[in-house]
Structure 1
Amino acid sequence: MKAFLSSFLLFVAQGVLGDPGTSFLVTLPQTMVDKNPSCSLNVVPTNSSGEVEGDVTTLSTAPFVMDVHFTVKPGEDFSLVMSNNKQIIPLGILVSDMTMEISTKAEVTLVVVNLAGSNGDAYTAIPVNQLGTDYYAVAGKKMNEETASILTVSAPYDDTEVNVTLPKRRSNTDNGDKPFLLQGVTYFIDDVISVRLNRLQTLQLQTSLDLTGTRVTSSKPVSVLSGQNRTNLSGSGCSSHILEQMPPVVNWAKTFILVHLPNQTAGEYYRFITKEPMTTVTIGGAGTGIEEGSGGGGGLLGDAGGPSQPGFVPDQDESSASENPTVAPAPDSDAGEETHVLKIQNAGEFAEFDLTAGKFMYVVADKPILVAQYTREQVRIGDTFLKDPGDPSLLVLSGLEHALDVYRFSIVAVPEKDLYVVLTARQQDVSLLRVNGQVLSSRNVSWDPVMGASDYVVGHVVLTQADMPCTLGFEGGPKFNAHVYYAGQCECWAMSLTHGQPQPQDPVSSCPTSSHSAGDGIDNDCDGSIDEEPCCVDLATELTKSTTFTEITNFRRRAENITPLKARNKIGCGVTCVRMTGCWGVNYALKDPGGDNCELLMGRGMGLVATAGWGFQSMLSLSTYKN
């Protein structure tokens, strides 16, 4: 049975394990569809013998004030539906008070659906006590004019300092060169955005830049969401909002099994994001006897190693992964199977992979990674839908290290859409798995092998509203991974049922410095940039090129490190900068201030602020400040 209130979300109470908690933060980013939202919240008591009380509240300054109390009786779940546009954070780059807090007197799990029309996605929320202070975001390619990346950061505590480091330029045609304004500061690509949030405030960024690899750090734990407001993977067909809650980096894992939406023939697109330099990702095997691209099937997407993906390098050393002692061996890997090796050079960069439908592949990384899955859209010609149901959705894949023995959740199942749970388990354990206490043999589940891990299998179970609330597995039983997909005509939601737990952390890899040589293609001084060192620039030539640098008057650039000094003039200020390792720009006084008239800028940029009497000049040959 189910009790209903009118308002949007999808709130799920945890049976025993998963992502259980008693306090959650929820925000609903803009989906780019001018329709009222239709979200839902399903609550299932963990203890079936007692009632659970809870509240959904906001600040009194929120655009839509909420103060909802609910009680869930034993054996029932609870749904809260939200349908007011004021509950959605508006378009743009801003700090909003529209943050909801869900608190309960017993542990629950929360599934959030951000939906307007058929434009939506779902995710399992991370409770406040499992939030962290270090994250990387995932978004996606800009496939059409209206596509914008979304990033939200929500604070459960007052006086939380948040720093958002935007990704570096990935190509000369990167879609993120347009500056944007936040609280009086103009920010550019590769900047660090610094804001201070109080309890239940949310920072939202929306930009044409692909925010994948954006780093979020904070002085206190925060909740981070990322995705895109509306997109597709092919540039045609059905489009949708994609959204996922990011797990903190301490939860990242090293071993995974790539899965896909059941009954899909288009396959899935994956991104692998790293937090450490020189990370090796092996797909389909243990990293021995590897020939890149062997066996056909899943292929690499994008310009591998090209200017649009500077962080991706196909591996040419067949033994490099197996020789690294931190690489976990693939369980019972079969020789001769298709295998791919990807290397990611720098923290926050990513590699891409296309998983062919019908294949399930083992993945092992030598350092912790975040794995993002993007479901593909249904092909549409005019009003005619072709091939598989579904549209884009975003899911953070749970690692094998995150496997649990039991999950409990609830979701409102719509008859014309298909609801699946995809299970990844050891072959020896499948006979012990349960759905609501019933063995899976009663569901006619078929199991597929995993390439590179012959002792693992993947199967899916079709669920209906009669299965809600749903319990998978049982306490003390075998551990397995579970991902939920909800697909219909031009619609798909996808979510993991857990974001994992903190993992043992390896020592952070150091970047070895090396001597400078122009054109060597190496980040010699370990600052994340290649060939920007003073050795590699003809200072005299660069300084005399009036079109090389863009000057901005009556503005002052902020940076992580600023060195003030007295220079003879603007040229002297610039010459001092280009002679100093790591200096990428200067602020100079337009008139003699009677003291220091030059500021050397180093570290990451932190925005541009209007300041009369000063000017900013970039020392970079490819300025990001050109309009």
Structure 2
Amino acid sequence: MATTMFHFGIIIFTCLTLCVDFATTQGRYYVVDSKPEQRTNAGTKFVFALSENYSLRHNATLVITNKSPLDTRVNITYNRKNIIENLAIPMGKHKTVYLPNDVVLKKTDGITVQNGIAVISDNDVIVQVYNDVHHRSMDGFLALPTHALGTEYYIITYSPWIQSQFALVATEDDTEIYFTPAQPYQFARRTIVPAGSRIKLTANQFEAIQLQCPECDFSGARINSNKPIAVISGNRCASVPEDIQSCDHLVEQLPPVNQWGKTFIAAPLMGRPQASGNRFRILAARYGTEIGVGADSVSLKPGEYHDFQLAANETTLVVSNKPILTAQFCSGFEADNITGDPAMTLVPSLEQRVNEATFVTYNKTKEQTEVTNFITVHADCTDFEDILLDGRQMTSIPDVEFTTVELTDYCIGSIEVARKGMHSIIGDTNTTMFSAILYGFAYYNSFAHPIAMGLKDTLCRSPLPGISDIVEHDCEQQLITVQLPCMEVPNETLIECDYTECVKPVYVIAIAVGCVLVAIMIETLIRTKLMVRENYVDKHFYTPRELYHRKAVVRKQHRDSNQVMTLYNK
């Protein structure tokens, strides 16, 4: 009986708590949020690493462009103290620097720290990095300045022919890094780490750690740290697709999750018009990510990715309800027997468009074969009249091929860049925005990377006034809706407190009484069930009279047993 009453009390308490909480938490606060700071890939401090290539035969290449209106000095170091070069770059000019091949990361157990590279300048510069230490295996990436680095990343790469890999570079001392693989991984060449387990790594400023996996694809692995880090992802040498021979080095520097976008244009690469240049991978970082790829849709969880391929000369829009990362891959030479090889580039999101960009073409491979350079620009169709390539309207350049993205107001413009050297793309008005990719093809060689990237925060975390909680939200969101107790006093930083959905106290009492009645009904039902269960013996139900006689028989058997035991003891 006591147990039943205890259960009854628990039921009433739970029902009252739920009902009263529901009735008194319908108030909503609306919090104003400021817009994120506008940032691009131009900066004064960069840290990165050169991952291992197919083999090590040549020096790697840096192209540094002075973006400031002043002459600037640039210092390039590795391992914090070893100076590679100290140079001056005049205003509006660029210089090419060849890095000694001992700065390229070597095969590692994932524990040993190696040399990170730092580029530090007096004024804003742009850094293009090319890992071309093998004459027929190369790729490049656009270096991201340290002011845009973060503490949460997801790896995006491709299935390996030799090794899937990524490198982590610390920007500060005592950096703790946690790596969570998306599939089982043999860490330090001996320990099998299950998917979802965390590996802790440590590094000091400008130190680099490289992790490699010959059997697995690192895509979907999560990286988080206590201090900002640089993450360089790719493959030592990958065949794209996996059944096509002639592998090539793949590499990109990844933006942190808080800079991912929701809208992308998937378009072919000029110069390889067939499906060989139209392979894409989309990666999610949050639960409930719903993505539309043209007329198709896909749902992804954190660390999950979706691959798709477009037909020749097909374009499509990729739209998501939550931030995603998108990469594009170029196939190997044997895919279409057209000059080129595998390459990887990030597809800049339309949320991270820029108003101006400067880039330098990559003209000759290390075996001195000519490289044909191309650019593809993504923008609103009406904006192309105001986009200038080297001072000329793109719409007035006969060689530009324009394509409208189906069922949208977006267009792409692609052109072969015949003139070698430095070029500019500029929006003629402050509201003219675009994104663009630079890529090049040579005999058994390719490279691809964004020309410029906006690096503003798109995913923000804001503390709420008067509450200890932190809410994650779209950075462009001006108002944040949060449910709070109805009796909460509005904070002066809040622009509105809506009590229209709150329940009046008299109704709260009525709801509470109703909850008690419901609890009594539930308790009565439970007690009835228990009584029926007590009357259930040997899988048969008994009437009260049958149950009385059965209990009498049991008592008689018990007395007879006691009498037998008494005679035996005598």
Query: Quick check: TM above 0.5?
Result: yes
Given that residues 275 and 368 in structure 1 are in contact (C-alpha distance below 8 angstroms), is that contact kept between their aligned partners in structure 2?
Answer: yes
Q: Which residue of 2 aligns with 1:425?
A: 379
Matches within 5 A, 1:516-595: none
Given that residues 360 and 450 in structure 1 are in contact (C-alpha distance below 8 angstroms), is that contact kept between their aligned partners in structure 2?
Answer: yes
Instruction: Provide the aligned length of Structure 1 versus Structure 2.
Output: 415
**Quick one: which of 176, 179, 188 aligns to 1:161?**
176
Higher-RCO chain (CA-CA 8 Å, sequence separation at least 6): 2
Residue identity opposite 1:209 in structure 2: C
Matches within 5 A, 1:282-321: 282-284=292-294
Distance 1:76 1:180 in 2: 45
Overall identity of the aligned pairs, in %: 22
2:210 matches 1:217 = no
The structural deviation recorded for 1:217 is 0.3
2:213 matches 1:197 = no
Q: Which residue of 1 aligns with 2:237?
A: 230
Q: Which residue of 1 aligns with 2:252?
A: 244
The structural deviation recorded for 1:52 is 1.0
Q: Which residue of 2 aligns with 1:28?
A: 50
Q: Deviation per CA, 1:467-519, whole angstroms, max 9, x where unpaired?
A: 5143444562510111111112221111112153211449569xxxxxxxxxx
Residue identity opposite 1:27 in structure 2: A
2:299 matches 1:343 = yes
Q: Deviation per CA, 1:539-565, whole angstroms, max 9, x where unpaired?
A: xxxxxxxxxxxxxxxxxxxxxxxxxxx
Residue identity opposite 2:414 in structure 1: H
The structural deviation recorded for 1:168 is 3.5
Q: Deviation per CA, 1:254-285, whole angstroms, max 9, x where unpaired?
A: 1111022103212421111111123111012x
Distance 1:243 1:19 in 2: 17
Distance 2:171 2:406 in 1: 42
Q: Which residue of 2 aligns with 1:359?
A: 314
Change (3 A) 1:60 1:158: closer
Given that residues 332 and 341 in structure 2 are in contact (C-alpha distance below 8 angstroms), is that contact kept between their aligned partners in structure 1?
Answer: yes
2:463 matches 1:463 = no
Given that residues 237 and 249 in structure 2 are in contact (C-alpha distance below 8 angstroms), is that contact kept between their aligned partners in structure 1?
Answer: yes
The structural deviation recorded for 1:17 is 7.3
Change (3 A) 1:193 1:499: farther
Name the TM-score, length of structure 1 as normaliser: 0.63
Residue identity opposite 1:479 in structure 2: M
Given that residues 80 and 206 in structure 2 are in contact (C-alpha distance below 8 angstroms), is that contact kept between their aligned partners in structure 1?
Answer: no
Task: Give the secondary-structure state (helix, strand or coil) at the position aligned to 1:428.
Answer: helix
- The structure number with the bigger radius of gyration is 2
2:133 matches 1:85 = no
Q: Deviation per CA, 1:401-450, whole angstroms, max 9, x where unpaired?
A: 11111111223323722111101111111121111212221353121110
2:288 matches 1:278 = yes
Task: Give the secondary-structure state (helix, strand or coil) at the position aligned to 1:162.
Answer: strand
**Higher relative helix content:** 2
Matches within 5 A, 1:473-492: 473-474=427-428, 476=430, 478-492=432-446
Q: Which residue of 2 aligns with 1:379?
A: 334
Change (3 A) 1:471 1:449: closer
Q: Which residue of 2 aligns with 1:76?
A: 93
Task: Give the secondary-structure state (helix, strand or coil) at the position aligned to 2:382.
Answer: helix
Residue identity opposite 1:26 in structure 2: F
Name the TM-score, length of structure 2 as normaliser: 0.69
The structural deviation recorded for 1:351 is 1.2
Change (3 A) 1:19 1:153: same
Change (3 A) 1:150 1:478: same
2:75 matches 1:59 = no
Given that residues 122 and 243 in structure 1 are in contact (C-alpha distance below 8 angstroms), is that contact kept between their aligned partners in structure 2?
Answer: yes
Distance 1:217 1:369 in 2: 17
5+ unaligned residues in a row in structure 1: which ranges?
Answer: 1-15, 170-175, 285-338, 381-385, 510-627
Q: Deviation per CA, 1:379-408, whole angstroms, max 9, x where unpaired?
A: 17xxxxx53222111111111111111111
Distance 2:388 2:46 in 1: 28
The structural deviation recorded for 1:85 is 3.1
2:55 matches 1:46 = no
2:118 matches 1:101 = yes
Distance 2:155 2:178 in 1: 13
Q: Which residue of 2 aligns with 1:391?
A: 341
2:137 matches 1:119 = yes
Given that residues 18 and 408 in structure 1 are in contact (C-alpha distance below 8 angstroms), is that contact kept between their aligned partners in structure 2?
Answer: no
Change (3 A) 1:505 1:355: farther
Q: Which residue of 2 aligns with 1:437?
A: 391
Given that residues 237 and 248 in structure 2 are in contact (C-alpha distance below 8 angstroms), is that contact kept between their aligned partners in structure 1?
Answer: yes
Distance 1:356 1:275 in 2: 28
Change (3 A) 1:219 1:17: closer
Distance 1:360 1:480 in 2: 17
